[in-house]
Amino acid sequence: MTLIAASIAVHEPDDIGLSLSRAADAAESGANLIEWRIDGLAQNHEVMDEVANLAQQLVRESPLPCIVTCRIATEGGEYSGDEQSRAALYESMVGSDHRPRYIDVEWAAMRRSPSTWASLRSCLKVEQSRSDLHTGLILSTHDFTSRPADLLQRIEGMSRDPLCAAVKVAWQARSLRDNLEAFDLLRDRHKPMIALCMGQFGLMSRVLAPKFDGFLTFAVDQEMEVTAPGQPTIDELKKLYRFDRIGKSTRVYGVIGWPVSHSQGPAIHNAGFTTTGFDGVYLPLPIPGGPVEYEHFKATVGALIDHPSLNFCGASVTIPHKENLLRFVKERGGRVDPLVERIGAANTLIVPSEFSGLECINTDAPAAIHSLCAGMGINRNEFGNLRIAVIGAGGVARAVIPGLVECGANVTIFNRSLERATRLAAEFSIREAASGVEAKLLDLIARERFDVLINCTPIGMHGGPAPDELPIPTSVVLDESVTVFDTVYTPPRTPLIQQAEARGAKTITGVDMFVLQATLQFEKWTGTPGPRETFERALSRSAHPT
Ligand code: NAP
């Protein structure tokens, strides 16, 4: 079983009471261990005897077995005092009546000055021979900039130390691929091991530690209290990522994009796994965009798929990688859904566990048409007489238009830059042999009347470029004869939806489309239709209340 250690940093004597009550909350939330980070305390107080007394109080009153760590500044901690005092502080705890379950000391510090640590080591040895409840030594190494070049030598050195109860390695991940090395290290370990990647790419190593039998993972009780970059909260680990249900055979899914931290995918798909009893976990999988975007995508997704024991079975793919996914699946000889070919972008990767190859599909397109039909109470064959304005010419517009064209609708694309809209209209006019797709500058939208307006820009989106604005001028006719479909789903009631409601128009929110495209993905991955009500509940509970 992989333990959850709640890491709590204590800085001042006055913090002790609050820290103990945070520890009690962490225990209540399901942590198995407390890591008392006392380096701030030791740094701020020159009288080490007092620090030792306070540390002993923490150990004595800790609601869970604990690790005591006085982390040195060179390895990400706050302590920059003399090493002799630090070693003596640890020794005072190991020899006391109320011993911590573990102490954590950096391997490099012990190597730098063996004589400084000799007395602590003999004390640990004596305790080890005396009692089963002796304090164990975690030997650790950290790099807050990158993967250390001599990582393997460090691990070898720590593992060989006869006093070492557990090895800990933590480094700043450069990409998702670093997590895979952490998993390989856990697989090949000789002693209980903690292998964690830090930073925005490292979450996977923290959440999937149970899959590779990691000794423990660190979490915090409150988001604002991280003691290392990228630590999740205990609630995130247990409730969002279903940490207790992750095991060797758990299938791994995620959302690939840049950025992905705002994605609602983890909230809904993990809730779906709980409802259906499917053994899966869904994670944010950040892959940077930019100049060498496809190379990053190809190398990272390829490594996830090819890892022998990760069990990576699929992903939702979002901005800016939808076109990269199509190219990647084609290059790997996978199956490309004909709709994806027409749209030129995919949003779902399926990695079959059997011998069949990769597959990519686009669930945005059917979800958009279905949402429109349901919202307007019409069938697909009733689009023929409708005049539809699509606002925006990006990825979502690209997914929405082919379905509309196929249903015979008259589509005008309005975009900020005419060139992009013209290109998109031409593509569909040629491919679909449809004369009904026109392109116009967004400024001209108020000159005509439309039956349906579909917002495919991020305007009105929480965290987007213009969260409080409307994507169309107020002079556009919005009355009871008009239907407004806003594909933005965070928040569900965007300024456009509110304006349309106020003026009597029919409205369809992006939530319908988002939930539906997710249920289609879920079904492709698990063979069971995505539980719609669960998804809606999870979405309404997560981040954006309005
Ligand atoms: P995209 O590819 O980046 O395209 C964005 C489009 O919006 C472009 O046409 C862009 O115009 C236009 N735009 C951006 N900022 C603008 C501004 N300030 N003023 C006027 N036009 C602006 O994005 P996308 O993938 O199509 O996604 C668009 C939105 O769809 C997302 O923000 C998301 O909220 C929503 N979405 C919903 C779902 C769902 O399931 N409901 C799924 C995916 C996305 P230019 O061409 O001139 O740059």
pLDDT digits (tens, 9 = 90+) for 316-347: 999 899 999 999 999 999 999 999 998 999 99
pLDDT at residue 543, as a whole number: 56
* pLDDT at residue 479 greater than cutoff 60: yes
Q: What pLDDT band is residue 143 in, cutting at 50, 70 and 90? A: very high
Average pLDDT value for the chain: 94
* pLDDT at residue 62 greater than cutoff 60: yes
Say which of 168, 211, 238, 506 is annotated catalytic.
168
| Mutation to probe ligand 1, out of 441, 456, 488 (largest number of atoms < 8 A from CB) | 456
Task: Give 407 Cα–ligand 1 centroid separation in angstroms.
Answer: 23
Sequence-distant (≥ 6) Cβ neighbours of residue 209 within 8 angstroms: 2, 186, 194, 195, 196, 216, 217
Say which of 134, 269, 321, 322 is annotated catalytic.
322
* pLDDT at residue 546 greater than cutoff 50: no
pLDDT tens readout for residues 301-318: 999 999 999 999 999 999
Task: Give 324 Cα–ligand 1 centroid separation in angstroms.
Answer: 18
Mean pLDDT, residues 167-182 taken together: 98
Lowest mean pLDDT among 74-78, 356-360, 389-393, 534-538: 356-360
Task: Give 99 Cα–ligand 1 centroid separation in angstroms.
Answer: 57
| Mutation to probe ligand 1, out of 323, 440, 487, 513 (largest number of atoms < 8 A from CB) | 487
**168 belongs to the catalytic site:** yes
**142 belongs to the catalytic site:** yes
Q: What pLDDT band is residue 435 in, cutting at 50, 70 and 90? A: low
Query: Would you say the CB of residue 30 lies under 6 angstroms from ligand 1?
Result: no
Question: What DSSP assignment string belongs to 222-289?
Answer: SGGG-SSTTPPBHHIIIIIS-GGG--TT-EEEEEEESS-TT-SHHHHHHHHHHHHT--EEEEEEE---
Mean pLDDT, residues 244-265 taken together: 95
| Mutation to probe ligand 1, out of 369, 371, 396 (largest number of atoms < 8 A from CB) | 396
Task: Give 40 Cα–ligand 1 centroid separation in angstroms.
Answer: 46
pLDDT at residue 451, as a whole number: 97
Task: Give 517 Cα–ligand 1 centroid separation in angstroms.
Answer: 17
Q: pTM here?
A: 0.93
Query: Would you say the CB of residue 415 lies under 6 angstroms from ligand 1?
Result: yes
Task: Give 101 Cα–ligand 1 centroid separation in angstroms.
Answer: 53
- Which residues is 79 bridged to in the sheet? 72
Query: Would you say the CB of residue 458 lies under 6 angstroms from ligand 1?
Result: yes
pLDDT at residue 427, as a whole number: 86
Q: How many Å apart are CA 217 and CA 118, to the nearest integer?
A: 29
The ligand 1 atom at the shortest distance from the C-alpha of residue 322 is 25
pLDDT at residue 115, as a whole number: 98
* pLDDT at residue 355 greater than cutoff 80: no
Mean pLDDT, residues 82-106 taken together: 95
Q: What pLDDT band is residue 545 in, cutting at 50, 70 and 90? A: very low
Say which of 364, 486, 506, 512 is annotated catalytic.
364
Query: Which residue has the CA at smallest separation from atom 44 of ligand 1?
Result: 396
pLDDT at residue 423, as a whole number: 93
In this structure, how many other beta carbons lie within 10 angstroms of the beta carbon of residue 504?
Answer: 11
Q: How many Å apart are CA 355 and CA 540, to the nearest integer?
A: 38
pLDDT at residue 199, as a whole number: 96
- For 316-355, where are the alpha helices, taking DSSP H only? 322-331, 338-343
* pLDDT at residue 354 greater than cutoff 80: no
